[in-house]
A and B are shown apart, each in its own frame.
Chain A
Amino acid sequence: MNARAAFDELVTWASGTLQGEEVLLASLVGESTDFVRFNHGDVRQAGSIQQQDISVELIDGRRHCSASMPFTGDAASDRSRLGAALRSLREQLRLVPEDPYLNYNTEVTNGQKVTPGELPDTTEVVGEVRSASTGHDLVGILASGDTYRGFANSLGQRNWSSASTFNLDWSMYLQADKAAKNGYAGFEWDSSTFQSKIDWSLQQVDALRRPARTISPGGYRTFLAPAAIEEFMTLLGYSAFGLRAHRTRQTPLLQMVAGDAQLHPRVSLSEATSQGVGPDFQSQGFLRPDAVDLIDRGQYVGHLISPRSAQEYGVATNGASSSEMPESLSLSTGSLPSGEVLEQLGTGLYVGNLWYLNYSDAAACRTTGMTRFATFWVEDGEISAPVNVMRFDDTAFNLLGDRLIDLTDTAEVVLDPMSYHARSTGSFRLPGALVEEMTFTL
């Protein structure tokens, strides 16, 4: 029996054991993934991981508790484990107070979102990677396999999301900290596409062979590649867009909310679930709309609203997770032709990646971080020299506001390669940004 059917059957069984007015919510997170780690083009670690966990929430009136546990697909052992967990949760329900902010979906809304893939044998990909990196210094990680998420409740709702994806994330090193970082992710491996991406890495490495330039602290005209914008968006995603962060005055966009600041009219941001590979439902059973507008032409217009925040602040949820973080963030494109980035930059910095962003002053959305990987000094539209790493310290209101010149006319789709606890199903759709001045400090 496959995981979906086994999960469905288990929740159906557990629903039959409920007492009185109890309600059960259940979520499944599973994956079957091959992971291969490379260093200097050789294999550092390689293996396969099969993991499935379920989280269940037992609700009785306005009291509720949750528990998570392994899910094997074997009906006998799963029923035994879940049955014991429900007995324990029932004991806990006697001890917890009523929760004024409890909120779960009571309207049955079934659905599925299946993204099929044609994944190659992982060992064949390893061979291609080693072949392509012969004579070069490649380091990185390959993940390939199936990820799936499920929701089911005792009211009869069933939701399923699955995707078969690969994600090869690598850096090609010249020496020390001089490297080009690239990735190839998708649903169907194509050797010629992979080779073209390797070729692009090697072109960047060639550019890094020129004598490095150290720039002085100060302001520079700068182009931020999509990967660099991704670092910004990741930082903002932690706390900028959730309703809870807004109502408790902890969002770094507080000055926007207060009307003291705004972003450039070209900047529109949305949580575009329909464009991502993540689930279109969340763990209280609410569905996510195709898109939630967060910033529209520079103005703050919407929040990610979890069911709990919705209940607390008296608004409708839009299917956000409890963290109220985006999972499929999309930034609007502009009019800067992607093929003319260097020409339009003229003289300044081409920043391929940023690294380790954090806030210098969160209330002012002032951020700091480092350049990393392929960052170049450009003169008159031509790459002149790689640039030694520099620290920047600047606000989003500058970089995506007053000082933004334009966004590129195409966006890159990035499948998040992160794998904390489990493979991420997050993604970004981001253009690059040309900025009149970015402040570097160290």
Chain B
Amino acid sequence: MAVINELSLEERLQRALPADVTYASVRLWDERGESLAVERNVLRPLSTNFDVGVMFSVWNDGGLGYGATNDLSDAGLASAVASARRWAAATAGIGVVAEPPFGHPVGSYESPVTTPILADDLSDRIDLLMAQSQRMAGDDRLVDWSASLGHRHVDTLLLTSGGGRVEQQFRFIYPGLRATANEGTNTQSRTFGRNAYCGQGGLELLDNYGFGDAAERIAREAVELLDAPNCPTGTMDVLLAPDQMILQIHESIGHPLELDRILGDERNYAGTSFVTPDMFGSFQYGSEKLNVTFDPTVPGQLASYGFDDDGTPAEKQHLIRDGVLVRPLGGSTSAQRAGMDGVATSRACSWNRPPIDRMANLNIEAGESSFDELVGSIERGVYLQTNNSWSIDDSRNKFQFSCEYGTLIEDGELTTTVRNPSYRGVSQSFWRSLDGVGDASTFTVMGTPNCGKGELNQMVGTGHASPPCLFRDVEVFGADA
């Protein structure tokens, strides 16, 4: 924590916090990262990044304003505070919210790390990726392949005018693999979970994810898809692998339950929601096998934390219990506006964006079926792995998703590999067709590193964990449809 440990900076931030207002806070964000990628056995340009800045927020006389800067001199801080004050004054009486719902929390959080990524030399990380790339090469039909490894170290400090102090240290790891094969106008790609194997920790995560063993399989499957038949078209059962479930959860449960969407904040960009406030407590979102939790306490998951960016302490909560919708994804501001119980989910992507309602870790709780039992219960269907394409309406209802790799299931057996598998559905009814949930042995912890939302636009990582799940009678199609 190179910057936060400079005591003088924290003292200067404290001094800069206005004391003559209803509430004030300052959020410091100190980020260092590295991006490494080997593409067709050539190292792409190594890049490192360092970003640090602050956002002051001021609530006063019913107005709210912020000022953000990466000029951490006394003059820079004073200018940011002046902006926050100016906007608080300008918005008094015309704001959507008038009173701060926050307290003055004190606490800390650290990512669980066994072996820090920087324990290895840079040359070790380059060698690892070069070896992965070379493992993928070989077949003449491979036209592109790459191995990548990124990491981010993010340290944050939240100080409030009432003595609140929350310090958090995050260590993120992002491994990736991709292979693309081509024959004529047929191009097929396979990836390492489409970047979904990511989380908090150190080098141990690479082993946990099976990164070292995946390269040859991914290249082989990309080539295999060239000769595979197109996915058949028709109504059939689908068994979604965890690396497709995370997309299904994210788009058709996570976003619709975001309270700021329900309150209308996102209607000009990310969209609204088919969910309305009156549905909480009674709406049958899915079958009784569906249990969804907001859980920022899962060790090592991508969006685990001790406090959200407004300082609300994080704790696990059910959002859907036995299929019934019980609680929205709303931070303290949205919860106050809606008069509902929320969760600690007010998050910002960096120092230069104000917190809004975001998913954190949004997980499907494990069920009782083994993978073999799930497959065995399907007479005609398809097992779908790894998201490839996604599209859903702005109410988060009508969706169409595609996957990289499909395997037909016939009479309870996995049989033929198929390419270009897609399926369509409507969120409001799709989850009611959930008829099987994998047990704890199949539960996989993953994440989505790039979720875009908000005006101003923000990109954050969200965590998702799920077992494979079985849905009955889904509209499935391939590229010929």
Partner of A74 from B73, B94, B402, B424 at Cβ < 8 Å: B73
| B391 and A250 form a contact (CB under 8 A) | no
Which of these, A39, A130, A248, A441, contacts B144 with CB under 8 Å? A248
Q: Is B252 engaged at the interface, CB distance under 8 Å to the other chain?
A: no
Q: Which residue of B lies closest to A418 (CB)?
A: B457
> Can you name 7 A-B pairs with beta carbons within 8 Å?
A67-B50, A72-B72, A102-B45, A254-B187, A358-B389, A360-B400, A441-B400
Q: B103: CB under 8 A from chain A?
A: no
From A67, A77, A101, A248, contact of B49 by CB (8 A): A67
Closest 6 CB pairs of A and B: A47-B66, A141-B455, A48-B83, A249-B182, A248-B144, A70-B70
Given contacts A47-B354, A389-B395, contact A442 B122 (CB under 8 A): no
Q: Is the CB of A53 within 8 A of B458?
A: no
- Selecting from A107-115, A165-173, A222-230, A324-332, the interface stretch reads A165-173
Q: Which of B42, B68, B265, B420 contacts A47 (CB 8 A)?
A: B68
A360 touches B479 (CB 8 A): yes
Q: Quick check: which of A154-162, A288-296, A362-370 contacts chain B, the rest being far away?
A: A362-370
* Residues of chain B from 377 to 421 with CB closer than 8 A to chain A in the complex: 389-395, 398, 400, 402, 420
A442 touches B398 (CB 8 A): yes
CB-CB nearest in chain B for A171: B268
Interface on A for B, CB 8 Å cutoff?
35, 37, 39-40, 42-53, 55, 57, 64-70, 72-74, 77, 81, 85, 88, 92, 95-97, 99-102, 123, 126, 130, 137, 139-141, 143, 169-171, 173, 176-177, 179, 181, 248-250, 254-255, 258, 260, 355-364, 366, 368-370, 372, 389, 391, 393, 418-421, 441-442
**A140 and B96 contact, CB distance less than 8 A:** no
Bound: A173/B264 CA distance, A: 10
Given contacts A358-B390, A393-B400, contact A65 B46 (CB under 8 A): yes
Task: Tell me the bound Cα distance from A126 to B94 in angstroms.
Answer: 10
Chain B residues whose CB sits within 8 angstroms of the CB of A139 once the complex forms: 264-265, 267-268
Which B residues are in CB contact (< 8 Å) with A179?
267
CB of B452 within 8 Å of the partner chain: yes
A67 touching B185, Cβ below 8 Å = no
Q: Is the CB of B400 within 8 A of A391?
A: yes
Residues of A within 8 A of B393 (CB): 355-356, 370, 372, 389, 391
Q: Are B73 and A72 in contact (CB under 8 A)?
A: yes
Contact: A37 with B400, CB < 8 Å?
no
Output the residue of A51, A68, A88, A260 with the most chain B CB within 10 A. A51
Which residues in window 54-80 of B have CB below 8 A to A? Answer: 55, 64-73, 76, 79-80
| Partner of B94 from A97, A130, A250 at Cβ < 8 Å | A130
Q: Which residue of B lies closest to A143 (CB)?
A: B456
Q: How many Å lie between the Cα of A376 and that of B345 in the bound state?
A: 37
B47–A66 contact, CB under 8 A? yes
Determine the residue in chain B with the shortest Cβ distance to A49.
B68
Chain B residues closer than 8 Å to A55, beta-carbon distance: 47
The reply to whether the CB of B459 lies closer than 8 angstroms to some CB of chain A is yes
- Enumerate chain A residues within 8 angstroms of B64, measured Cβ to Cβ: 45-46
Residue in A42, A50, A258, A418 whose CB lies within 8 Å of B95: A42
CB atoms of B46 and A359 under 8 A apart: no
Query: Closest chain B residue to A30 by CB distance?
Result: B70
**Minimal beta-carbon separation of A22 from chain B (angstroms):** 15
Do A97 and B43 touch (CB < 8 A)?
Answer: yes
- Bound CA span A49–B65, Å: 11
- Chain B residues closer than 8 Å to A74, beta-carbon distance: 71, 73
B45 pairs with A64, CB closer than 8 A: yes
The answer to whether B457 and A361 touch across the interface, beta carbons within 8 angstroms, is no
Q: A42-B95, A250-B180 are in contact. Are A356 and B268 (CB under 8 A)?
A: no
Q: Are A50 and B69 in contact (CB under 8 A)?
A: yes
Chain A residue at smallest Cβ distance from B401: A358
Whether a CB of chain A sits under 8 angstroms from the CB of B52 is yes
B46 adjacent to A48 (CB under 8 Å): no
Contact B50 A68 (CB under 8 A): yes
Residue count of chain B within 8 Å CB distance of chain A: 79
Known: A40-B96, A50-B71, A250-B180. A177 touches B144 (CB 8 A): no
Binary interface encoding of chain B residues 92-129 relative to chain A, with 1 for a CB under 8 A from any of its CBs, else 0? 00111100000000000000000000000111001000
B 244-280 binary contact with A (CB < 8 Å = 1; else 0): 0000000000000000000111011101100000000
Min CB–CB distance A269 → chain B (angstroms): 21
Asked if B282 is at the interface of the complex by the 8 Å CB criterion, the answer is no
Q: How many Å from the CB of B308 to the closest CB on chain A?
A: 16
> Given the complex, which residues of A lie within 8 Å of B169, measured CB to CB?
none
**Do the beta carbons of A66 and B45 come within 8 Å of each other?**
yes
B177 at the interface (CB under 8 A from A): no
In Å, the complex CA distance between A421 and B123 comes to: 30
Q: Which residues of A contact B143 (CB under 8 A)?
A: 248-250
Question: A50-B80, A363-B187, A372-B394 provided; 13 other pairs, C-beta below 8 A?
Answer: A48-B83, A48-B86, A50-B69, A65-B45, A96-B122, A96-B126, A169-B269, A249-B187, A355-B393, A360-B400, A364-B479, A389-B395, A421-B459
Q: A72-B76, A249-B182 are in contact. Are A47 and B67 (CB under 8 A)?
A: yes
A181 touching B91, Cβ below 8 Å: no
B66 partner, pick from A45, A101, A258, beta carbons under 8 A: A45
**A54 shortest CB reach to chain B, Å:** 11
Taking the nearest CB of chain B, how far is it from the CB of A64, in angstroms? 6
Min CB–CB distance A95 → chain B (angstroms): 5
A49 to B84, CA, bound (A): 10
Tell me the smallest distance from the CB of B87 to a CB of chain A, in Å: 4
| B51 contacts the other chain (CB 8 A) | yes
Least Cβ–Cβ distance between B33 and chain A, in angstroms: 9
In the complex where A250-B144, A372-B394, A393-B400 touch, is A51 in contact with B66 (Cβ < 8 A)? no
The residue in chain B whose Cβ has the minimal distance to the Cβ of A73 is: B71
Asked whether A101 lies within 8 Å of B91 as measured between CB atoms, the reply is no
Among residues of B, the one whose C-beta sits closest to the C-beta of A84 is B50
Chain B residues with CB under 8 Å of A254's CB are: 185, 187
Residues on the A chain within 8 Å of B180, using CB: 248-250
Q: A359-B389, A389-B393 are in contact. Are A47 and B87 (CB under 8 A)?
A: yes
Q: Establish whether residues A43 and B96, one from each chain, have CB atoms under 8 Å apart when the complex forms.
A: yes
> Which residues from chain B contact A44 at a C-beta distance below 8 Å?
95-97, 265
Question: Cβ of B48 and Cβ of A67 under 8 Å apart?
Answer: yes
Name A46's contact: one of B65, B144, B267, B272 (CB within 8 Å).
B65
- Expressed in whole angstroms, the Cα–Cα distance for A68 and B390 within the complex equals 32
Chain B residues near A48 (CB-CB < 8 A): 66-68, 80, 83, 86-87
Q: How far is the CA of A391 from the CA of B390 in the complex (A)?
A: 12
Q: How far apart are the CA atoms of A37 and B51 in the complex, in Å?
A: 25
Cβ of B186 within 8 Å of any chain A Cβ, yes or no, is yes
Find out whether the CB atom of A141 lies under 8 angstroms from the CB atom of B268: yes
Please report the C-alpha to C-alpha distance between residue A391 and residue B50 in the assembled complex, in whole angstroms: 42
Interchain CB contact under 8 A, B49 and A52: no
Q: Please name the residue on chain B nearest to A33 by beta carbon.
A: B456
* Chain A nearest Cβ from B335, distance in angstroms: 15
Minimal beta-carbon separation of B83 from chain A (angstroms): 4
In whole angstroms, how far apart are the Cα atoms of A140 and B187 in the complex?
A: 40
Taking a contact as CB atoms closer than 8 A, the residue among A46, A359, A420 that contacts B402 in the complex is: A359
**Pairwise interchain contact A42-B94, C-beta atoms closer than 8 A:** yes
